[in-house]
Amino acid sequence: MSRSAHPAGPRHADVLPEGHYTAPPTDLNALDAKVWSRTVARNADGAVTVGGIEVARLAEEFGTPAYILDESDFRARCRAWAHAFGPDADVFYAGKAFLSRAVVRWLKEEGLNLDVCSGGELTCALDAGMPAERIAFHGNNKTVAEIERAVTVGVGRIVLDSFQEIARVAHVAQRLGKRQRVQIRVTVGVEAHTHEFIATAHEDQKFGIALAGGEAAEAVRRALALDGLELIGIHSHIGSQIFDMAGFEVSARRVVGLLAAVRDEHGVELPEIDLGGGLGIAYTSDDDPREPHEIAKALGDIVTRECEAAGLATPRISVEPGRAIVGPSAFTLYEVGTIKPLEGLRTYVSVDGGMSDNIRTALYDAEYSVALVSRASDAEPMLVRVVGKHCESGDIVVRDAFLPSDLAPGDLIAVPATGAYCRSMASNYNHALRPPVVAVRDGQARVIVRRETEEDLLRLDVG
Ligand code: LLP
């Protein structure tokens, strides 16, 4: 839509500039259950509550910006995944999405396993009491120290990512007098329909060992020959924020193809396959994610069918959802500061956080939605861009959204579906203090990761 043809300003649906949006929603007070965690609701006064607590109370007690994590929602998603896959499969929560000691305890209680990809995540997991055998250790460049630690504590599996790592882990295990359970991560050559930076199954990237050209078969050969390793299966992770099951189906088919080739060559049936994580969630009302039971059925069916065709016993399947569990469970609560209407364009709404607490918009062009949560409003919708307080123009939290035109400094707004890869990728850019994570459940709120303080910043700066 050309702006010059519609010079009247940004507040009406027929004069909107170009952007990633459709029409303004009919009811700005409505909270789409697709993007908000389960206990989020608007009370009779129009204020939004989570876990039975008004967000304004949370802002008062814990400050803004803050990540508000709905514990019941998180636990319900864990249970849904565990139940969907059942006792003959394993669900590993991908800790990179968001990890804290409280979350590890919830995972443990809900019967999930944990995927870690660094020594730091491993420390967090062990410190919070996750049994080592329920931990999978990932990474394309694990240090020898990390490998030693993982083998020593007895992690349930190390996912091998290169030929060098096969030798390295075998060597460490042998030196420590252990036999380490491992999987080999393969790249299956699938083009996942997602942002380039979060697609991982095409061949021209850093992860895994290619199936094509026989490299993965060679990796299996080497792993089977080494005493320090017990090869339990093959791993594939095709990327993240994926809605289309077709990529997983191709991946499953190719991984089963490798299992059949291994059986033919070595007479060994590897007992497990891991199909990774990457299941998409709704960031806006336009997204339509699959439910865990649909995913479990689709993956289970394809693996069973392919194995039957190849004459293999069906292996134990594991999956590693991160975003699909924690993503929808949290929102970021901000206070509105400066509001700058740009005539004929849009209104810039500045909040007290920004790219330091959510880098995803800048990094992946991610889309988010936003709502006024401290009160309801019947004012007309205005097209807004929610921006942060950092010193760069790419500091955008929500590129295009609608908020009521009576929005004022001091109002609270919230961006839903920020549970995954927001706190875990947060930075101190401009010496910003990383926000706390506040867990809310049944009318109780408690800090599970506290807000950084200026003393925290100075403590690292040794002068
Ligand atoms: N398993 C493996 C081996 C992975 O590499 C990942 C994500 C997962 C599981 C979990 O994927 P999920 O279900 O959470 O999509 N920072 C990016 C995402 C990077 C994901 C890296 N690996 C983002 O903010 O979208």
Q: Is 292 in the pocket of ligand 1 (CB under 6 A)?
A: no
Q: Is 421 in the pocket of ligand 1 (CB under 6 A)?
A: yes
Give the model's confidence band at 440: pLDDT under 50 very low, under 70 low, under 90 confident, else very high: very high
Pocket perturbation via mutation, ligand 1, pick of 116, 240, 325 by most ligand atoms within 8 A of CB: 240
The residue behind tokens 């043809």 is 5
Q: Please tell me the predicted confidence (pLDDT) of residue 190.
A: 82
Amino acid at residue number 84: A
Pocket perturbation via mutation, ligand 1, pick of 81, 142, 323 by most ligand atoms within 8 A of CB: 323
Give the model's confidence band at 6: pLDDT under 50 very low, under 70 low, under 90 confident, else very high: very low
User: Is residue 274 pLDDT above 60, yes or no?
Assistant: yes
How far apart are alpha carbons 443 and 445 in whole angstroms?
7
Q: Is 138 in the pocket of ligand 1 (CB under 6 A)?
A: yes
Q: Please tell me the predicted confidence (pLDDT) of residue 201.
A: 61
- Positive or negative: CA dihedral 393, 334, 64, 37: negative
| Residue owning the nearest CA to atom 15 of ligand 1 | 278
How far apart are alpha carbons 141 and 161 in whole angstroms?
8
User: Is residue 366 pLDDT above 60, yes or no?
Assistant: yes
Span 341-365, pLDDT tens digits: 999 999 999 999 999 999 999 999 9
Span 414-439, pLDDT tens digits: 999 999 999 999 999 999 999 999 99
CB neighbourhood size of 367 (10 A): 18
Q: Is 187 in the pocket of ligand 1 (CB under 6 A)?
A: no
CA distances, 178 to each of 131, 146, 196, 226 (Å): 18, 15, 39, 12
Does pTM top 0.85 for this prediction?
yes
User: Is residue 12 pLDDT above 60, yes or no?
Assistant: no
CB neighbourhood size of 362 (10 A): 18
Q: List, by residue range, all CATH 2.40.37.10 domains of the chain.
A: 13-70+328-460
Q: Please tell me the predicted confidence (pLDDT) of residue 8.
A: 36
Q: Of residues 25 and 106, which shows the higher confidence score? A: 106
Q: Please tell me the predicted confidence (pLDDT) of residue 10.
A: 43
User: Is residue 408 pLDDT above 80, yes or no?
Assistant: yes
User: Is residue 371 pLDDT above 60, yes or no?
Assistant: yes
Q: Which helix (H) or strand (E) holds 144?
A: helix 144-153
The two beta strands, 347-351 and 381-387, are: parallel
Pocket perturbation via mutation, ligand 1, pick of 135, 242, 320 by most ligand atoms within 8 A of CB: 320
| Residue owning the nearest CA to atom 9 of ligand 1 | 277
Average pLDDT, the chain: 94
Q: Which atom of ligand 1 is nearest to the CA of 241?
A: 15
Q: Is 423 in the pocket of ligand 1 (CB under 6 A)?
A: no
Average pLDDT over residues 143-151: 98
How far apart are alpha carbons 249 and 423 in whole angstroms?
31
Q: Is residue 265 helix, strand or coil? A: helix
Q: Please tell me the predicted confidence (pLDDT) of residue 25.
A: 83
Nearest 5°: phi and psi at 297? -70, -45
Q: List, by residue range, all CATH 3.20.20.10 domains of the chain.
A: 138-321
Average pLDDT over residues 26-37: 95
Q: Please tell me the predicted confidence (pLDDT) of residue 5.
A: 32
User: Is residue 3 pLDDT above 60, yes or no?
Assistant: no
User: Is residue 72 pLDDT above 60, yes or no?
Assistant: yes
Catalytic residues: 391
What's the full length of the chain, in residues? 463
Among 203-207, 235-239, 317-321, 333-337, the minimum mean pLDDT is found in 203-207
Q: Of residues 454 and 25, which shows the higher confidence score? A: 454
Q: Please tell me the predicted confidence (pLDDT) of residue 263.
A: 98
Q: Which atom of ligand 1 is nearest to the CA of 242?
A: 15
Q: Please tell me the predicted confidence (pLDDT) of residue 92.
A: 98
Q: Please tell me the predicted confidence (pLDDT) of residue 197.
A: 61
Among 9-18, 194-203, 262-271, the minimum mean pLDDT is found in 9-18
Span 193-250, pLDDT tens digits: 666 666 666 777 899 999 999 999 999 999 999 999 999 999 999 999 999 888 999 9
Q: Is 159 in the pocket of ligand 1 (CB under 6 A)?
A: no
Q: Please tell me the predicted confidence (pLDDT) of residue 1.
A: 31
Q: Please tell me the predicted confidence (pLDDT) of residue 26.
A: 84
Q: Please tell me the predicted confidence (pLDDT) of residue 15.
A: 56
User: Is residue 9 pLDDT above 50, yes or no?
Assistant: no
User: Is residue 137 pLDDT above 80, yes or no?
Assistant: yes
Give the model's confidence band at 11: pLDDT under 50 very low, under 70 low, under 90 confident, else very high: very low
Tokens of 244: 């289309």
Among 6-20, 162-176, 369-383, the minimum mean pLDDT is found in 6-20
How far apart are alpha carbons 99 and 359 in whole angstroms?
17
Q: Please tell me the predicted confidence (pLDDT) of residue 23.
A: 78
Average pLDDT over residues 380-389: 97
Cα–ligand 1 centroid distance for 144 (angstroms): 23
Span 106-116, pLDDT tens digits: 999 999 999 99
String of b and e for 93-115 (b: at least 16 CB within 10 Å)? bbbbbbbbebbbebbbebebbbb
Among 151-165, 233-247, 386-400, the minimum mean pLDDT is found in 233-247
Q: Please tell me the predicted confidence (pLDDT) of residue 13.
A: 45
Query: 13-70+328-460, what's its fold?
Result: Lyase, Ornithine Decarboxylase; Chain A, domain 1 (2.40.37)
Q: Is 201 in the pocket of ligand 1 (CB under 6 A)?
A: no
Tell me which of 3.90.550.10, 2.70.98.60, 3.40.640.10, 3.20.20.10 is the CATH number of domain 138-321. Answer: 3.20.20.10
Q: Which helix (H) or strand (E) holds 437?
A: strand 437-441
